[in-house]
Every structure is written in C-alpha cells, then in structure tokens.
Structure 1
Amino acid sequence: MKGFIVNDTPEVRTQKIGASLLITIDRPKARNAVNAAVAAGLAAALDELEADPALRVGVLTGAEGTFSAGMDLKAALKGESPEIPGRGFGGLTQAEGTKPLIAAVEGWAMGGGFELALACDLIVAAEDAQFGLPEVKRGLIAAGGGVIRLPKRIPFHLAMEVLLLGEPLSGVEAGRLGIANRVVPAAEVTAIALQLAEQLAANAPLALAAVKKIVRAADGAPESEAFAAQTREMTAVVASDDVREGMAAFAERRSPVWQGK
C-alpha cells in the first residue's frame, strides 16, 4: 500500500494515502488493546487529521488482523488510564472531530474496541470479524459509549442482548443489523475502507463537517433545537466559497476543487 508515513510510534502509526490518513493501532502482541500510550497516540493522530487541510478523511484499523481487544486490563490494574480527559476512551469515543472517520475492522473489536468502531462514522467489517461488549462478564459496563450508542444503532432488544449477555456478533451479523456499512473478506477490509474514504474526500469538506455537527446536535434534542442547529450550520455553509465552487463546477461539467472555506 503506497503512502507517506507521517507518524511511526510503537503504539500508533499514521500514514497519508491521498487525502486519507490511515491510523493503525500497533500492539498486535496485546491484540491491539488500548493502554495509556495507545490513547495518547490515537488522540495525536486525530489532531494530525484535523490540523492538515490536505487530509479529508481518517481510516482507523489495527495491526496484523485485529482491530482492538479493548481496554488493556493488565495496564489498567497497574493504574494506567485508557482515557483522555474530554475525549473519552482511546482519545476517541467522546472526541468531536470535524472530519469523517471510518473503522476498518478485522478480527476482534471487543469491549472498547467495539466502542472505538461505534465512535466512527462508517464501519467496514471483515466477514469473520467479532464485535462484542463483554464488560458484564468482568463486572463492568461498556462505559466508552457502548451502552449509550448501541441501542441507537440497532433494535432495542437486540442491543440489550449484546449488552447483557456479553456475547459477540460476527461481521456478517453486524452487517445484517446495520452496524457495518460494508462486509467484505478480511483481505479487502482496509482497501475498501480507503475506497470509501476517497469517495468521501471528493465531497465538500465544510459540508461534511456540517453534517457531522448537525447529527451530533440533533441527537436526542427536540426538533426545534435540531433545526436551529441546522440553520446555524447551513448559514455558514451557504456563505462559503465552496458552495460557489460546487455550483460553478456543476454548471461547467467539471469536478469541483474544494478549498474548505
């Protein structure tokens, strides 16, 4: 896979591939479990994505065929925190980034690993991936967003089954339930995620950011508040140079050149 490696730390690697930033959790011997170093690395990677105007989309994956086994329990017992204040588990689950993020899931996405995927905007899953929230088996709850987000993504009783039994779902089941946008052979997961990222990157960055912000603002809010938030975002988008460029490109039958302003 061609690309420019930007950050290569022991725990989290980033690589520029076109307008996408491929973010890889790299602790395969620990099944890419999240410790303090991984959380810090993911937070830094997301900052990198946000700061670079040439980057439009992030793709999050794990090294050597495993997305993430979740919280590193051994590290937690030593007092390490897998959370970043204000950003949540792994520096991601409560972060409010403006750019789309795609989870490319192979192997295990268990506990906090599943919650990292749920925090992304799109999910590409391997057919044999395993999604699960087994925290109740350890005396815990899925407090990195699993308890909050999963019942909003799939039917209530199915979400409660996953949360209360702690048993995993396959990638195929995740696709059937609508958790995963694409379900593909494991060897194709990252490539398909990057293809989706390329498609997303062709769209106007301000519009993409506005969609994310409105969706967050509308979550659980009365319609009047949701529409008010939408009006604020739409006002800014309509006043942008990108809107004029989009219209001109349509009229001139060419691809738009977005400036993000």
Structure 2
Amino acid sequence: MTSSEPSPALVVSSASERDPRICVITLNRPERRNAFDNEMADAFADAVDAFENDSQFRVAILRGNGPIFCSGMDLGAFAKGERPGLDSANGFAHFVRRPRRKPMIAAVQGGAHAGGFEIVLACDLAVAEASAKFSLPEVKRGIIAAGGGAVRLPQRIPAVIAREMLFTGNAIEAERAYELGLLNAVADAGKLEDAAYNLAAQIVGNAPLAVLASKQVADDALTAGEAVAWHTNRRGWDTVLASNDALEGALAFKERRLPDWTGS
C-alpha cells in the first residue's frame, strides 16, 4: 500500500448477499489478529449502531477477517495508555455491555481470545469452526477478564471449569465449548459461513416483533443478577490497572519474553 492509498476500514458492514435482512459485520484488522485499539473500538461501535438503526436488518453475523476471529485488546496500544471501551458505559470494544435490540451471531474461525472471547459471550448466539479455540488469558498478562469474561463465563458453564479457564488462562477447543453450551454449532473447515447463515435464516423467518420481544425477555432474565458482579468487576479492574504487573504483562507479551511479576 502506498502512502496515497486510504487505509482499509477497520470494521466492514454490509447486507448479506444471501439475504438482505441479514447484516454481516466483519472485524478487519487481520495483521493484528483483529485486536482492538481505540480506533477499532469506535469503528465497531458505529457498525453496531448502524445495524441496530437500519430497519432492513433483522439479525447480524459478526465475523473476523483473516485466520482468527479476534485476539482481544491490542496490548501494544494498552501499553501506550489506550483502553478500547473499557472505561465506557458499554464496556470493552463499546460492545460487551451495550444494550442491543436485535440478535447477533458470532461466527468464529481460528480462535477468540481474551476480549475476543468476551465479545462472543456478549453475542446472542455463536458458531465456530472445529479448529477454533477459546481462552481468557488475561492473568498471563497481569490483568483480568474485565470485558465480561469473569462475569459471564461462570453463569454459562460449570463454575469449576470457568474458574479453571480464568485462573490458568488455558484454551479450550470448539468441541469442548460446544459440549459446555457456549456454541450453537461446530462447523467443518470451510463451512462456517453456511452454519452462521443457516442460523440467521431461521431467525429472519420468524415474526420480527416476537423475536425482539423474546430477546428482551431472555436478556432481562440473564442480566438481573449481573449488577453486583459488574460492580465487583470494576473494582478488580481498577486494582490491576493501577499495578506494575499490568504494564509488565503487556510489555512482556510485546517483547516476546516471560513476564517478571512483582505482585505490585
């Protein structure tokens, strides 16, 4: 790319070629494993707003360009002081706590890690390729899964498994995620788009108002007990954010070395 050529959009949104009632939102920063900095978070917020406000769209498929769905927060940007949405009312990527009226399906290739996995948890439904992996490795970087991982994962799967993922930062594979109820379907290689579309097509085939009302009721039932957890989440994030270990974790990752934890 020459200096005169415009940079590609960090988030691309368009109607599906298969059905114009389905919106396809694509995270488009493959050279950074679709990791979020402030600019990308703002672009994502605009794309979600456009989907919500366009009466043509009834459901969205969220995908990632490149070999991986999303690796979470750009730790290089974090080390420079960026906090992509984490200090906003809507949370990481301006998305994980954002009120939404319409259903959204995450379509995961490669993997969803850290904030990328938290985005999946914030979506209504999810499908993944069989080779995909999921993890919350924040403790390996000196921070916590403050984008909803520590809040939502224990609500979705057995607590001991959620704690293992949160405390070790280790990944699980797509089949295991499906067994635990984190995915609606696991697709063979090259079939992810079909799996996401088939699910979206079933949704748009139903009564629009009934789908919206059903989502609202289901969301309220799930989030009624989250208020206290989000408050605790905020306190935990503030604590680690002020620590030396948070910066050390980001720098060690960027410099490809083992972190030197001080516990301070």
Report if TM-score (shorter chain) is over 0.5: yes
Partners in 2 of 1:220 and 1:99 — Cα distance?
Answer: 16
Q: Which residue of 1 aligns with 2:11?
A: 12
Pairwise CA RMSD: 1.6
How many aligned positions are there? 215
| 2:67 is the alignment partner of 1:68 | no
TM-score (norm 2): 0.78
**Structure 1 stretches of 4+ moved >3 Å:** none
TM-score (norm 1): 0.79
Partners in 2 of 1:34 and 1:19 — Cα distance?
Answer: 27
Partners in 1 of 2:170 and 2:72 — Cα distance?
Answer: 15
Query: Which structure's relative contact order is higher, taking Cα pairs within 8 Å and 6+ residues apart?
Result: 2
Q: Which residue of 1 aligns with 2:203?
A: 200
Match of 2:47 among 23, 31, 45: 45
Deviation digits for residues 15-56 of structure 1, max 9, x if unmatched? 201211111101111000011121111111111111111100
Equivalent residue letter for 1:128: S
Match of 1:141 among 136, 144, 163: 144
Q: Which runs of 5+ in 2 are unaligned?
A: 1-6, 226-264
Q: Does the CA contact (< 8 Å) of 1:132 and 1:169 recur in 2?
A: yes
| 2:172 is the alignment partner of 1:173 | no
Q: Which residue of 2 aligns with 1:23?
A: 25
| 2:50 match: secondary structure | helix
Deviation digits for residues 226-258 of structure 1, max 9, x if unmatched? xxxxxxxxxxxxxxxxxxxxxxxxxxxxxxxxx
Partners in 1 of 2:37 and 2:207 — Cα distance?
Answer: 35
Percentage identity across aligned positions? 43
Q: Does the CA contact (< 8 Å) of 1:19 and 1:198 recur in 2?
A: no
Q: Does the CA contact (< 8 Å) of 1:134 and 1:167 recur in 2?
A: yes
Pairwise mapping of residues 1-261 of structure 1 onto structure 2 (< 5 A)?
A: 10-17=9-16, 18-83=20-85, 85-219=88-222, 221=224
Q: Does the CA contact (< 8 Å) of 1:99 and 1:205 recur in 2?
A: no
Partners in 2 of 1:143 and 1:54 — Cα distance?
Answer: 34
